[in-house]
Amino acid sequence: MVDSRIRIILFIFILSFFVVISRLFQIQVIGYKRFSQLAKKQFPKVNIWKPRRGNIYDSKGRIVALTVEEGERFIPEGEGLEVFVGFLNWKGEGASGIEYLFNDVLKGEVKKVKWMRDVRGRKILRVNCGDVLKEEGNSIYLTIERPVQYKLYSLIKEALIKYNGNWAAGIVQDVYSGEIIGFSYVDRSNRKKWISNPLITRFFEPGSTLKIIPAAAAIEEGVFSPQDKFWCEEGVFEIFDFPIKDHEKYGWLTFKEII
């Protein structure tokens, strides 16, 4: 009776041994590729994590641009603001305007994050990255005032239509601080405004609108009198090889005639 029990136990032991060996053979030899791939999926993998892009505010803290779902950038007043805010490229980085100029500030610090995964490749655990996912890009504040900007945009757009021009632009400046509180441009051809904005890319000669300032200062200080004469370079005056042109080719003019 005892011998029979020993034989049964021995048989079960040997059978179990062969089952284990068979299973190991199946896993390590026959199913090597499959199980190897499953194991690799559980290894820590490095992912590039981009923080939420910072917001852009006007001087009073009103939203000018912010990030909404799926990283899309939202500009509340559209064309009235995008002329200087700019846009993002397909990588989500600034490609023009404020978005481009302050891209490194707004985008925050891009980091590499390690994840453990389950056998199906799903993320289950971050490895040694602390609170990195809570970080965001920095926000910036502009001197622009949104209501002023919107009004300026509306006025120059209206003027463009009224006078049938090709483009119109305008700037509103705080005369006390020198800050730009409005900055807008409208182009009838519907070209992308951030590609060629004349407020940035063109030179504007101040002309007669500016000469009264130094003229008034000169008279006040007694440097010149209204009867003094000046040579007007026959319409073209060069400063550092850059020609400044007059609308007429004047020769000698008195101080009074120039004004």
**Candidate ranges 54-68, 111-125, 163-177, 244-258; pick with highest mean pLDDT:** 54-68
DSSP state of 69: G
Helix ranges restricted to H, the chain:
2-25, 32-42, 79-85, 97-101, 103-107, 146-162, 198-201, 208-220, 255-258
Nearest-5° Cα angle at 157, 156 to 160: 85
Looking at the domain covering 47-141, what would its CATH class be?
A: alpha beta
Q: Are strands 252-254 and 229-231 parallel, antiparallel or unpaired?
A: antiparallel
Is the pLDDT reported for residue 2 higher than 70? Answer: no
> How much is the pLDDT for 174?
92
Is the pLDDT reported for residue 136 higher than 80? Answer: no
Contact 75, 83 (CB under 8 A): no
- Written as one letter, the residue type at 251 is G
What average pLDDT does the chain have? 78
Mean pLDDT, residues 160-175: 90
Contact 107, 53 (CB under 8 A): yes
Note the pLDDT tens digit of each residue in 56-92. Answer: 999 999 999 999 877 788 998 777 888 888 888 888 8
Of 111 and 237, more confident = 237
